[in-house]
Structure 1
């Protein structure tokens, strides 16, 4: 149904979605439909590390029990609840219960540093925090400094601090048929605040409405209708504080897939989970696919159950796809999707095996329009003419929380969201991403804002100026690399600067690509760093080494 009209690629007729109800009520209704059936007793989620199994019936009961408990604590429409934890069953139940209360859920990276944690909570201003024991031990000293937080709930273990409410006290026995989610205005009320850096700068809070995430779920349901293979088992290690991890997990549960999940990537645990649970579908990011393609360890396990690999968060090369396919003897294909937090996950998909094109992000989702515009003139480009990819439709975010100026900067005069990615579409309307206009660095699927790293480097007493760009890397995608100008008469080594940054930044944002000392940072007349010039220097340096 994809068509190209006046150099705009149309994804076809929009999905019907029940925009009058909350996303929480939608999920409850989906799970109620099988609650008293044999399907309700099927396993929904398996903790791949502990073996804990949860059926769809148990999952729904947990959601409504927690939802009732949260309502009794006073959680209501308009509230913001932060969630900080590693992947675990209670995470999904708590997130959906919050949405059922009409409140907004905002997931936090458990590995954030104090400054990062403080920054994002200044954006979302949560009045309640739900977190794991591990998150409490790592971050309580920061949590207690956030004035908006009035209550803290601990998901597991005994409360580590006086006054913290144990999760078990939220579990109020509730009749699943009597439970009702709080009514919302689906097209305006915010269900999620997720963190993204857009095209530049420090992390921003992306507000996704109930309508946005209902539409995202409809896209997954539509894709499942075309699936010829029932009862697929999925494996995911994508963290649930990430839009890709949280939204894909919930959307797959809605279409009643069995999900095996891990709290992080451990090569042996990952491969063993595929072998033990006979996984059919891998929900992956590029480093995982590179690992499968390159690691000798992958040849020591039985991966013959894998039929499909779904890869997102960053582009994957055709070479890596081909190498990985050689290691997966029964795999039908490695499919990519393209999108960003601001597009409620997937904006284009490449799931049609007959129309799939290796290296492509696929075709616009039904109901979406996509165009490619010339970087200088803004003119709409035709097939195979590169420019900035721009998107429009019901998946586009409500805006950035508390930052109207940044929201305006992301939207063009025709109402399209400017992705900051450079690419093109072919004659069939299939999209290919070839470069990054935006400054954001993607390290192993994680977003690294250069400005944030640069501000840390400028705190070093020897650094006069700095500029950070991503060095291309097959395994990681891009490695954060710093160009540094030293102050006159002061010296510093590469190791000193790397170590200095490492104590102030979370793992993904550290200088994995190293430090390059330079006499001056290239800038345009208005003082903006010319990152393309620096990326070209990296390419030249790599060629000279070869």
Structure 2
């Protein structure tokens, strides 16, 4: 499935399907709509509306015509979407791309200040939102120097909102009659608007720590060529291989893979179902049986909800939901944790035929894919390779480098995962990303993920690069040591960080591992030395201290806050020095 070159680059043995370089996304997708003109391609689970390829084609051109001729949307303008996935949202997305504008989806969990920042950074001209957010959106419209028009995507709002200048009801323009031959009162603009393959068509925002400041919004800009390549890539038989009979539900478009998956369904002729992200999880899961959804693309949090909250299938649970049609579960987002045998739970409880994992980032697109098939024997046994994120997809090159020297690492040696492919963002379009030295000299993008590949070319993601510890000549994955601590009966949670190596009160080169431990019972009597000896019996020597803490600090995403632990360690270390003086 994969080959490792003499330069220690891992790549697929399968050839990449050819994609025309001079085609832009709108023409590419409109052609597929006509190709599947009689097939139902979209179903909105909330309203029950279903759309064929021909209907989507016609309403998309009509809305694009209105955007251009009624509201002066030009090539390069930006349209922000602050609303959940729906059939209208997807049509407006297509109309935006067909108009030559740039599409931006706003994460529904963003605060109003975050949304204000997205609008400013993207220089948005249109804002499309729900009626529930119309009053806040009007405030944004008045504050912004770039916003010119506000569109309400549903019709349930106060009459006073429609009386506002530059506020419109989007669906009324979906009935706008498209005129292929523009008259003298309209712009002679061809639709779809011709653009270059290297022009921007989509922008996603991610939160990153930049210059020590957490939760900074960083724009990830994707071109027509990037999205066409990603959408076509998923059609490979080794990744999705969806058919005309499938019906898939995916993530919100604020997730880069949500957009890619939607474009892919149009390419493959597969029906996609929109469940509306504002619905409760329980109601959304109920749509699986109603609309006979065969494939669900879900992130780790949604997967854990289905496994751990008594959401079972075939009427065996307290909250019976018919999942009998669901034969394929597609896991995206964060890699599966090594500590829990989730694969075993998925096959045992949800009984899919396939359980697949797609690994990728907004900057790189799809990197690798892992297939897991329900076997007739040993169904619930999880071999080590199940924690892999799979082999590289065709057209993707991967190498693992030493984070400090950037030298390529051999198999089974942990380092930073770097990627090069046609899906990867353009350096010239993403200056905010390039400024942090995100590319190697030979053009590989540094993902920031730490991992390794095995002798077969399968890729494993362990942690983030900034979590790695450089102990002497070794690159240490702290999670391996944390797992050993958690095997002790007294330990509830353990986190290992790298601290400066001090010898005789003076700093020396490198780091040592220091462990923070939260006990399962605060009344338990156990010493740090006892835990260090326990870990040593497992084959790992801990050179640093064991520090007991009442509760491990977490970020707003419920992840371990290692930065806070470093502050705690530094404070303890400072107090110790003061006492010595």
TM-score, with normalisation over the residues of structure 2? Answer: 0.71
Distance in structure 1 (CA, Å) of the matches to 2:396 and 2:406: 20
Deviation of the 1:169 alpha carbon = 4.4
Q: Secondary structure at the match of 1:371?
A: strand
Correspondence for 1:308 = 328
Corresponding residue to 2:62 among 26, 48, 65: 65
Deviation of the 1:75 alpha carbon = 1.5
Distance in structure 2 (CA, Å) of the matches to 1:287 and 1:225: 22
Corresponding residue to 1:16 among 18, 24, 34: 18
- The change in CA–CA distance for 1:510 and 1:372 in structure 2 (over 3 A counts) is closer
Correspondence for 1:136 = 134
Deviation of the 1:244 alpha carbon = 2.2
Deviation of the 1:62 alpha carbon = 1.7
- The change in CA–CA distance for 1:257 and 1:520 in structure 2 (over 3 A counts) is closer
Deviation of the 1:311 alpha carbon = 0.6
Q: Secondary structure at the match of 2:311?
A: helix
- The change in CA–CA distance for 1:175 and 1:211 in structure 2 (over 3 A counts) is same
Correspondence for 2:82 = 84
Q: Where does the alignment leave 5 or more consecutive residues of structure 2 unmatched?
A: 183-189, 376-382, 468-516, 519-549, 572-581
Correspondence for 2:289 = 275
Correspondence for 2:204 = 194
Asked if 2 retains the 8 angstrom alpha-carbon contact of 1:293 and 1:324, the reply is yes
Distance in structure 2 (CA, Å) of the matches to 1:193 and 1:227: 27
Correspondence for 2:484 = none
Q: Secondary structure at the match of 1:180?
A: coil
Q: Secondary structure at the match of 1:316?
A: coil
Correspondence for 1:167 = 170
Deviation of the 1:516 alpha carbon = 11
More divergent stretch after superposition (363-372 vs 173-182)? 173-182
The number of equivalent residue pairs is 453
Correspondence for 2:3 = 3
Deviation of the 1:429 alpha carbon = 1.5
Distance in structure 2 (CA, Å) of the matches to 1:195 and 1:420: 17
Give the number of the structure whose alpha-carbon radius of gyration is greater: 2
Correspondence for 2:276 = 263
Q: Secondary structure at the match of 1:302?
A: coil
Correspondence for 1:415 = 443
Distance in structure 2 (CA, Å) of the matches to 1:22 and 1:370: 27
Asked if 1 retains the 8 angstrom alpha-carbon contact of 2:125 and 2:147, the reply is yes
Distance in structure 2 (CA, Å) of the matches to 1:354 and 1:425: 24
Q: Where does the alignment leave 5 or more consecutive residues of structure 1 unmatched?
A: 440-470, 473-493, 502-507, 525-546
- Aligned residue runs from structure 1 range 418-497, under 5 A: 418-438=446-466
Correspondence for 1:543 = none
Distance in structure 2 (CA, Å) of the matches to 1:353 and 1:17: 30
> RMSD across aligned C-alpha pairs, in angstroms?
3.4
Deviation of the 1:509 alpha carbon = 3.8
Distance in structure 1 (CA, Å) of the matches to 2:428 and 2:125: 19
- The change in CA–CA distance for 1:96 and 1:63 in structure 2 (over 3 A counts) is same
Corresponding residue to 1:204 among 197, 204, 218: 218
Asked if 1 retains the 8 angstrom alpha-carbon contact of 2:232 and 2:267, the reply is no
Distance in structure 1 (CA, Å) of the matches to 2:430 and 2:193: 24
Deviation of the 1:326 alpha carbon = 0.5
Asked if 1 retains the 8 angstrom alpha-carbon contact of 2:244 and 2:268, the reply is no
Asked if 2 retains the 8 angstrom alpha-carbon contact of 1:82 and 1:106, the reply is yes
- The change in CA–CA distance for 1:228 and 1:240 in structure 2 (over 3 A counts) is closer
Q: Secondary structure at the match of 1:129?
A: strand
- The change in CA–CA distance for 1:518 and 1:81 in structure 2 (over 3 A counts) is closer
Distance in structure 1 (CA, Å) of the matches to 2:108 and 2:334: 22
- The change in CA–CA distance for 1:127 and 1:424 in structure 2 (over 3 A counts) is same
Distance in structure 2 (CA, Å) of the matches to 1:339 and 1:242: 11
Distance in structure 2 (CA, Å) of the matches to 1:10 and 1:174: 46
**Relative contact order higher in (CA < 8 Å, ≥ 6 apart):** 1
Asked if 1 retains the 8 angstrom alpha-carbon contact of 2:87 and 2:274, the reply is no
Distance in structure 1 (CA, Å) of the matches to 2:152 and 2:81: 10
TM-score, with normalisation over the residues of structure 1? Answer: 0.75
- The change in CA–CA distance for 1:180 and 1:19 in structure 2 (over 3 A counts) is farther
Q: Secondary structure at the match of 1:395?
A: coil
Asked if 1 retains the 8 angstrom alpha-carbon contact of 2:286 and 2:321, the reply is yes
Q: Secondary structure at the match of 1:214?
A: helix
Correspondence for 2:497 = none
- Asked if 1:182 is matched to 2:179, the reply is no
- The change in CA–CA distance for 1:336 and 1:126 in structure 2 (over 3 A counts) is same
Distance in structure 1 (CA, Å) of the matches to 2:371 and 2:564: 45
- The change in CA–CA distance for 1:67 and 1:302 in structure 2 (over 3 A counts) is same
More divergent stretch after superposition (94-103 vs 50-59)? 50-59
Deviation of the 1:292 alpha carbon = 2.4
Deviation of the 1:235 alpha carbon = 2.5
